[in-house]
Amino acid sequence: MSIGKLQKQAKEKVDRSQVYPIGEALSLVKEAAYAKFDETVEVTVRLGVDPRKADQMVRGAVVLPNGLGKDVRVLVFAKGEKALEARDAGADFVGGDDLVAKIQEGWFEFDTAIATPDMMGTVGKIGRLLGPRGLMPNPKVGTVTFEVGRATSEAKSGKVEYRVEKAGIVHAPVGKVSFDVDKLQENLVAVVDALIKAKPATSKGTYLKKVSLCSTMGPGVNVDIPTVQALVK
């Protein structure tokens, strides 16, 4: 069957005008996925904030209880004992100027970057290369730290960074289509819980305006927000 037909069948399974309870929404996302690979399930949340205002920027990170379902390649900028600590924690690449040189030559075979504070002067040389790719270490999401062992372990186990974009939108992966609904639900609730805790004091009115889910190739499914909030601790 052609991709076009599969895509059409997937869209027919979802009523875009309807909001679905969280469990039903996740089941629909799984059912509507049609790609031959294990698609990523992503949540999109529209928040009641104005990201153009510095005091309404929502940014942070959350460790998903059930991981992302993929091997996360972690690069750590560190030296001495901290380099050993990162390696012991499972970092895939550890170094300093040597890694900077590789990245300057166009190498980006990693998913997240962590740095000790004393290495940020070195990392700053490639900030213009890492920044646009979302790979620049940042203390706000815990990737600039002397606790490189913990940070590496968290990244390996499924730590997700989030940042509000234009129109107050946040995108975040919550697992794979192959995950059970319960595991996807736990991951989704963890993301929403983190967003609620990150609510700026200056945000007025409705904060969680819209929540929707989709797989990499599948159609969007609107989620009934109260059914998500009811699960947030």
Token pair in block for residue 157: 């186990």
Q: How many whole angstroms separate alpha carbon 64 and alpha carbon 159?
A: 6
Structural domains in the chain, sorted by start: 14-68+159-229 (3.30.190.20), 74-156 (3.40.50.790)
Nearest C-alpha neighbor of 34 from the set 216, 173, 181, 185: 216
pTM of the full structure:
0.83
Half-sphere exposure of 184 (CA within 13 A, CB side): 25
- pLDDT tens for the chain, residues 1 to 233: 555 777 777 677 777 889 999 999 999 999 988 888 999 999 999 999 999 998 999 999 999 999 999 889 999 999 999 999 999 999 999 999 999 999 999 999 999 999 999 999 999 999 999 999 989 999 988 999 999 999 999 999 889 989 999 889 999 999 999 999 999 999 999 999 999 999 999 998 999 999 999 999 999 999 999 999 999 97
